[in-house]
Structure formats: C-alpha cells, structure tokens
Structure 1
Amino acid sequence: MEQPLTAMIPSDRSALSLAEYERHGGYRGLRRTLSQYSPEDALEIVKSSRLRGRGGAGFPTALKWSFVPKEYPGPTYLIANADEMEPGTFKDRLLLESTAHQLIEGMILAAYCIGADTGYIFLRGEYTRAARNILRALDEACEAGILGSNILDSGFSFDLYLHTGAGRYICGEETALINALEGRRAHPRAKPPFPQVSGLFGHPTVVNNTETLCNIPHILANGAEWYQDLGRGDDSGTKLFSAAGRVRNPGVWELPMGTPIHEILEDHAGGMAEGFSLRAFQPGGASTDFLLPEDLNLRMDYDAIGKAGSRMGTGALIVLDDQSCPVGMVKNLSQFFARESCGWCTPCRDGLPWMVQLLDQIEQGQGQMSDLDTLAWQCRFMGPGNTFCALAPGAAEPVQSALRLFRDEFEHHINQGRCPYGA
C-alpha cells in the first residue's frame, strides 16, 4: 500500500461504511496491535516510524505521547483536532468526509498507546457532511464491538465522542480547543503546564491533528520501516499536499514526504492557469512566509522549508500570480486573522486591526513611507514569544515576507497613490 491515507477513498468521495473500510484492510492494524503488542511496544513502533505531527508544527508524535504520566490514577483524554480553519487548507476535510473509520481506528490505537479511556473529535462546525459521516461511523464501530468496553475482547476500553465547534480559528490552538471543549471561552492557556500533564478538566490530554492520527493504523499494520521508506527525504511517510490559486487543477493529493514543490505544482496542480505566471507562493497555508519561483526545487519537508525561511505548515500551497496584488493579498489574509483573534493578548487583539488599517491605507494609495517601518515593527512585536499562542506570529509571517520581497510594490502604492493592479 503506497498511499496509506487516501488510496481507499472512492472516486466520488463517498463515505466508506465499516464493511467497505474493512475490505480495504481497515482495522487490521487495531486487531494486530491489541493481540500482539503491549502499549509500550506499540508506542515504540510509532516512535521508530519517525511520524511527525501533520497539523503544522511537525513535532514528533511519539515524543508528544511520551509526556503523558504513566499509571495516572484518573482519566486520560485523547482529542482529534479536526477544527480545520487555516485559509487554503482542506486536507482534513477529505479524510473526515470519506474515511471516518480511519480516524476512529487511529484514535483507538493512540489511546491504547497513551492509556486514554475517553476521546473527542473536535470538528469544525461548518463541516456538516463530515459530522454526519463520523456519527454514522461511530455507531457502526460501537455495534461491532470496536468502540466502547472491552474492544475486540482485548480488555482495553475506549469511548469516543463527536463535538462540533462554534467556528473560530483560534480553536485550532490546542489549549484554546480544550477550553472550548470544557464550555469556556476559546482562549489559549499559558504553558506550562502542558496538556499532556494537565489538559481537559485538569487531566492528562493529548491533542493530535486528524491527518496525524490517520497515519497510525498503517504504521502499526505495516511496521515502522515500511513507513520510513515511503518518504523521499529525511521525513517519513506520506503527506496530503494541496494547491490553491490560479493553477489549472487546484486540489489535494497524497504524496511522499520530501516531494519537490515543482512536482506538486506542475505534475499535480497542472501548472499555472493560462495567461498567468508564478510570482510567489506560501508553502504551508496562509500563515507562512512567501517563497519565490527559485525555491520550486525545494523538497516539501519540515527542515528544508524551514531553512529556506518559511514553514511547511499544513502543506497547503497558496499561489500568488503575476497579475494579483501582493499588498491586497496580505491585507486580505490580515483581515481574516484580525477577525479570528480571541482578544486574549494585546499584540494580537490591537496589533492585527492596526496592521489591517495600515495595509488598507497603502492599498488605497493613502499610505506613507513611514507606514512600512511601522508594519515591520508590528511584525517583530507580534513575533514568537510575545503572544499567548501562534496566531499573531503566524499572521505576521506573510506580511513580513511581503515587505521583504515586494517592497517596490508597497512603495509604488504610496508614491503613485493607487494600486497598479486596478484593485
């Protein structure tokens, strides 16, 4: 099986029933693990696979799990972060709508490794089709003895519930998600303590991205070495990459980790749409720094993109073409982030609306040269270490890279008093 996450998805993207999922090899990893491996053995296999989180940060999954206290006397929780709201990113939607059983199997196995007895799927509220399919899959799994008490007569029990969010980008941050799940306002928490020690209702909690969890059944069914061999670089496995913008074939594809960017854009996205040229792109969603056409030979893995000055993030390529205004693009992104700020800390609550105001003035031809210095100062002020979470630092990334790469565009708006693209 060369493409473990999406190979089983029907061409019409309909949801797989339990019977269909099992015909494609589903729950083979669960049966093998519960019958052959202790939790410690299963965790070691995941560790050896070198799986890294697919939600954006790329933190080693097994290392994150290892922080959960052993033999904790109270409940331990596992949460799937399915609150996919990063602009340009729609990889989890594909998995949630078509292969809910894959996520369920991954969560059972993750719970087995960390000793969790209760799990929640925290789903973006707008994903109504996914919600229906997940609920149906949960019912099927419970009826088949795959969920609940004494799973497959193994002695291991795990209960799993669906929770739909109210639609806020901040809920993608794991501690804000936990607060929302508790019925509180979705504000991020100060760390430490980290959720693995004190999370949901004060108990040990692991929060993993949907795509991350969907990798677990295949790792435990096929082994760590098999998973390592799927990658084309230093990172193991496959990844769901996507492309959006003025390309011929926007979409999402499962490809080996380390696939060159030009291969994603040319071979899978079909290249630029007729009449347009590539000017720049964001490699990992809306909250990543721009890269240029000369970076197309980079491999899509965490370290290679990081060394180039950006982040692989969610693997969602957002294309900026030669006929679109970079000032207008970053203003549009900044408006989104300003609207989605939870308001918990000053740099984000007050800095982002101020940034939007300056960008709007510049785009309308009413800016001043000093505004560019102010924007650069704001990006530094909202940088890592100055806020409770990564929302503001992520929002600053496209702006700071646009100021560096397209400064002449900003100056043209100011000097000519208008947008050269007619926006």
Structure 2
Amino acid sequence: MIRADSSQPTQRRTIIIGVALALILMMVVGIGVIANRQPVTVKIAVALPMWIEWYSQATKNTIELALQESNYRAGDRIVEVVYVDTSDPNDPDTVTSERAALEIALKDESIVAVWGSTNSAEAKNTIPYLNQVPITLMSAVATWPGLTKPGYAPGEPLIHYPSGRRNFFRVVPTDEIQGKVAARWIHQQGFRKIYIIRHNSIYSEGLAGILESHAVDFNLQIVGNELVEPSQMSEADFKALVGRVKEAAPSIVYYPGHLDKTFLVIEALRREMPDLVVLGGDGLTLETLPADTTLLEGVYATNVIPPIAKLESAAPLLKAYREAYGEPPPQNPDMILPAYESFRVLLKAIAIADSPTRIGVLRAMSELDTYNGAMGEWKFDVNGDTTLETINLLQLKHGMWVSVGVIK
C-alpha cells in the first residue's frame, strides 16, 4: 500500500504565500519609486539683443505668457528659460556674436533647445555651430531663404548643416516671398521707377537682390542701386546721396534697411523730397524709432508677420498680452505673434519627445505635423520652413506701424 505524502499541500501553500508576499513587496517598492520620482526639468535658451529694449522686453513678456498658460510645463516636464544676452558686454549698444554667447550658455546640458537668431546674419553664424552640438534652433524672424533653400548663395543651404541633419526651424515666410510680393505691390500701385538703397548685410543685400530679380516680371525699371552705411556717413555723404536720388527721379525708393541709424537715410531723403514714397522690409519695423517721426510719416514696410489685430486665431494672445502688460510695443505690435507661436511649438516638441534631451527634442521637432495655433493652421516643410505665405503691409502712422493690408 502506497501512502500519500502529506507534506505536499503544506509545501504548495508555502510557495504560494511566498510568491504573494514577493508580489506585494514589488508593488510597494514600485509605488514608492513612482511616488518619489521627480518631474524632469529642462531648459530653453532664449538669445536676445537686450540693447533693443522694447523688442527684448516684449519678447520676454510673450514667452512668460506662453509659460504661464502651460503651467511652466511641456507635458509632464518642467520648463525653465535661460536668457542669453547677445549685446556686446563692452558696448551695450552693439551686438556681439550670438554663437559666442550660446557657446557659454550651452555648457548647461539641461538646455534642450535654443530660441534665437533675431536676424539672418546671426542665424548664418549660429546654425552650423548648433548643428554640430546638435540642438534645435527656433527663430521667430530670420528670413533669408538661403538658410534652408538652395539657389541664393554658393554652398547654401548645405554649408549651414555640417552634420547633414537639419536643426533650424522658423515660423515666418522667407525673403523670397517678401521680395516678390514687394515688387508686385509696387507694380499694383502704378510705380515704375525704383531706386534701391541697401546695407552691407545678408538681409539687406539679399532682399534688394530678390526684388531686383523680379523687377522685369512686373515691368519695373531700376534707376539706381547703391550701398550705404548710415552709421559711417557724414553730412556731406547724406547730401550727395540725396542729390543722386533726386537726379534719378524715382517714383519709389526701396530700402530694406535694418542696421544702426537706419532711419537717418529716410530722414535725409524726406527733408528734400517730403512726398517721396519709401518701402522697406520687415527689418525696418524692428529698429527703434526716433523720438520725432515726422519725416518718417507714411513710410511703408512689408512684414512677414500677419496682422495680429486682424487674425481671429491670435485674438486670445492679444487679449492676454493686453491684460498682463498693456498694449503691444507700438514700434511693431505684430512681433509678439511669431515669438509666441514659435515658443509654443518648442513646448509641444519637448512634451512629445521620447526623451527630454537635445536629440529627443530635435527628433520631435522634425516629426511635428500640422500645427493649429495663434498664426492659424500650418506646418513645417522638409526644410524647416513654415507653409504660411502671407505678407503684411505696414505703414508708419504717428510713430506706430499699422497694418494697411495683407498681400500675397
């Protein structure tokens, strides 16, 4: 007769109880880990020319609004901003290298994206460096097409991306659109003779060249085209310039100015020719206006930023800005729009990134789909450019840039 082993049920019960206790212990430990896990903190470096006080302050205000709305988070990640001053420490009224300033800031590895490049010259210098870091560079206003597209300068755009991967993104149309639209508007107004005055900069030379290339398309005649440096011009130089313009008798002056003392050129021309029509680019609207704008009254400028007051999708932003800070800066009230939109896009990329790292955020930026925000519905193309193409026509009225129409 074979006897059953009476110890087997006891052993089984012991094993079951042991497994249960182990599972309970694992659950307790897991809950403890989750409870003690702290949200990850990431940073965005915001590079600004602090010497342009109205622009820098308005940008800071706008970024603060975007952060407040998101509760200083991107998804479950805490977001902090590190402001990087691109002003020359030895001369606060001039700009130093944005790249040099960022090289110092980016020693902080918790910075996962950069917002900056307030002009194309800075972007041209900064992009290659950040491309090798690598880290995302978001610009609200850099417009030179060669930063992302071929056909504008030798080697562009590949020379800006030594790693072979794109890391530059922008939310406004490029100068190729702005220049062509300017030529079309000049034709539509019945003007035929254009005198071009430009600065020695990527932006000014580029925009002037784009308009000139489209002149033949609209039956426009270039009666003068010259380079000036207002900050280095004497009274005699201004007088000579005015004389040349008067002799050429243009129906309009095209002046894509944006450098220090830009408005001195227009003032000199208007003293002798008060009815002279002047059209500039968006760079003109970012310059600090003189206290007395009498001689500048009526000057036009194309702007790559849509008119915020006329854009339904931007109404909540405008309302929030007014409630928090009063009216947007009179020099260019529309400029808060791309600053806000571009920063919100960065927050979205950080939120959806598979990892809160520079590479993770860059990958997320490259994979973003259609975005519906304050500037309407749009997306980045394969070059990192926006699909938006609206150009806003501004006119200076009583010391304030006012939208007088949208042109395409």
- TM-score in same-fold range (> 0.5): no
**TM-score, structure 1 normalization:** 0.24
Q: Which structure: greater strand fraction?
A: 2
**TM-score, structure 2 normalization:** 0.24
Instruction: Answer with 1 or 2: which has the greater Rg.
Output: 2
